[in-house]
Structure 1
Amino acid sequence: MLVIESPQQLREAIKQFKQQGKAICFTPTMGNLHQGHLELVKQGQKVAPISVVSIFVNPMQFNNADDLKNYPKTLDADCQALEAQGVDIVFTPSSDVIYPNGLAVQTYVEVPVLSDCLEGELRPGHFRGMSTIVNKLFNLVQPDYACFGEKDFQQLAIVKQMVIDMAMPIEIIPVATVRETSGLAMSSRNNKLSEGDKRKAPLLAKVMNQLAIDTQNNTTQHSLLIRDACHVLEAGGFDTDAIHIVDVLTLQAVTPETKQAVVLMAAFLGSTRLIDNKVVSICTNKDFTL
């Protein structure tokens, strides 16, 4: 496995694989890897013989300087896990390499509408930073495929749209959320939970699954379903941040034409923010109310 810090060295390595006619699958990460990340790599290895993973904590997508400073860095362990998984290249650039002139004058990429709603309202600039770094990494790696987890549902939707809008010859492969045996979605943030909070955490997925069933059955107004879900979470020790039921394609309010909706969950346990989501098919009609 090659561990590369220089974009030029990365380009040279990629060029050799391209000359050999080998397809490349790329998985961008911010490190602190867990089984969910490795599942992205595994799925990518099913479609392409060459696997490239990046580890880069992107300062452009952080709203809080302390969050950036405190983001866990486990590069040695990450590289060991990736090598065991059979990854060919790990790209580990520094911020100075990626943004040599600083963030203030950095060209950026922004996907309108999809980036402005939901999480985009709560974290201004976050998705612009994400789109920019993914675009830049795509330019460097030139992959044929790229794997993104469905747990970050809005991020996945934005990347899909960016690839379409920018006419990139890259197939985006969505990878299902990997869960603990308790049902909790795997996340680097789970490591921050206290033992007590780890016991409470599975409630988020349980409430989400029930909310998805209720949404699919379409038994009442979505606002009432969300209100009840918030009450259950808060009774279980959560501080609900946001729950949404939106159209899968537009990430906007469900309409009579909506075929699939996605239940999006975000809630705090202590200072740790957990997210999850579930897609459901729904039957709407002209009399449907939110």
Structure 2
Amino acid sequence: MSHSANTALGDGQIPVFDSIAAFREWREELRRQGKTVGFVPTMGALHAGHLGLVKNARKECDAVVVSIFVNPAQFAPHEDLDQYPRSFDSDYASLVESKSCAAILLPKVSEMYPAGITLDRAQQQGTFVEVQGLSHQMEGIPRPHFFRGVATVVTKLFNIVQPDRAFFGQKDAQQCVVVRAMIRDLLLPIRMRALPTAREQDGLAMSSRNRYLTPEMRNIATLLYRAISAAKEVIQTGATNEREEILKPAYAIIEEVTKQVKDQGLPFEVRLDYLSLVDVATLGEIEVLGKEQAAILSGAVYVGTTRLIDNVLINAEEL
């Protein structure tokens, strides 16, 4: 049954379900009452960006479900699955404080992956969902396993929650494009909302991984946002529509900060993973940007061992 009476998992103000069957009973009651359900899938370690999605969902729906599940299928064997921050108590307190969450879904790995799950993709068994054509560029180059894991777990969560609307953050731009295509292709009766990236005052995109940054790293962590913003400015001035010229100031900012970190003898490195300018619909890299072409300007950098991603939209309001 529900964990709502279990003081180890919250204090009963929001029901917490670690059983899919118990959650479905609760969900069925909402259906009988004709209530609309908004859904915010998370991996926990909630920050103001997540809570903004929850509050927006509550404005649009009668009840909001938040899932917390660190999904093994989107991690490779060398990645930080075990280190990924898990902070249920503070997540629960934040959701209570938001006054916007009706239930928390906290599913067990054994229920989510009945056939078992290993991080070695070649050894995985069971059913997986893959969105072909949108999963192997940008973030999919350094992390070829990632979007199959995302598409699979989001499909499973959609099947459990059966939301009317699902809410995602624009920071994970490619994920938004992949999930939207999956909803369309699998004929799911769900309206997806991709809301603007939540940022710190200095522009850094909010992320659960930001907590890995030391104060020295945090001081320079805005370099990616400054870089892609400089590239966006080139587009807005109309100075050029050629990829190389658009990205030139972005590369310059990252090179400058990388050199600065080295020269100051700081105990970490800055390393660019990639910068990208892609078409919103196809995620194909753009060589010459069309006048009204909707595009995503994005990138990833390592600050120490922490990988930061960010993006800005060109000629588009929402992904």
Give the TM bin, normalised by the shorter chain.
Answer: over 0.9
Q: 1:228-247 to 2 correspondence within 5 Å?
A: 228-237=249-258, 238-247=270-279
Count residues in correspondence: 282
The alpha-carbon deviation at position 229 of structure 1 amounts to 1.8
Q: Render the CA deviation track for 1:242-266: whole Å, top value 9, x for unaligned.
A: 0011112211133648622210121
8 Å CA contact 2:39–2:65 kept in 1: the answer is yes
CA distance in 2: counterparts of 1:182 and 1:62, whole angstroms: 30
Correspondence for 1:129:
149
Q: Render the CA deviation track for 1:96-136: whole Å, top value 9, x for unaligned.
A: 12112212222011111011211112101110000000000
Gap regions ≥5 residues in structure 2: 1-13, 118-123, 259-269
CA distance in 2: counterparts of 1:117 and 1:78, whole angstroms: 32
8 Å CA contact 1:24–1:50 kept in 2: the answer is yes
Matched residue type, 1:61: Q
Matched, 1:76 2:97: no
Q: 1:153-164 to 2 correspondence within 5 Å?
A: 153-164=173-184
Matched, 1:268 2:302: yes
Correspondence for 2:10:
none
| Counterparts in 2 of 1:184 and 1:120: CA distance versus 1, 3 Å | same
8 Å CA contact 2:130–2:152 kept in 1: the answer is yes
**Runs ≥4 residues deviating over 4 A:** 255-258
CA distance in 2: counterparts of 1:131 and 1:12, whole angstroms: 25
TM-score using structure 2 length: 0.85
TM-score using structure 1 length: 0.93
8 Å CA contact 2:226–2:253 kept in 1: the answer is no
The alignment yields a C-alpha RMSD, in angstroms, of 1.6
Q: 1:1-290 to 2 correspondence within 5 Å?
A: 1-86=14-99, 87-103=101-117, 104-216=124-236, 217-219=238-240, 221-237=242-258, 238-254=270-286, 256=290, 259-281=293-315
CA distance in 2: counterparts of 1:231 and 1:268, whole angstroms: 16
CA distance in 2: counterparts of 1:184 and 1:64, whole angstroms: 28
Matched residue type, 1:128: R
The alpha-carbon deviation at position 173 of structure 1 amounts to 0.8
Q: 3-state DSSP class of the match of 2:81? A: helix
CA distance in 1: counterparts of 2:241 and 2:57, whole angstroms: 40
CA distance in 2: counterparts of 1:112 and 1:198, whole angstroms: 36
8 Å CA contact 1:56–1:92 kept in 2: the answer is yes
Matched residue type, 1:12: E
CA distance in 2: counterparts of 1:192 and 1:109, whole angstroms: 31
Gap regions ≥5 residues in structure 1: 283-290
- When structure 1 is superposed on structure 2, of 132-141 and 218-227 the one drifting more is 218-227
CA distance in 2: counterparts of 1:215 and 1:14, whole angstroms: 47
The alpha-carbon deviation at position 227 of structure 1 amounts to 4.4
Q: Render the CA deviation track for 1:19-56: whole Å, top value 9, x for unaligned.
A: 00000000000000000010110110111010100000
CA distance in 2: counterparts of 1:116 and 1:202, whole angstroms: 26
CA distance in 2: counterparts of 1:256 and 1:185, whole angstroms: 27
| Counterparts in 2 of 1:21 and 1:227: CA distance versus 1, 3 Å | same
The share of aligned pairs that are identical, in percent, is 39
Q: Render the CA deviation track for 1:215-234: whole Å, top value 9, x for unaligned.
A: 34252631244344223213
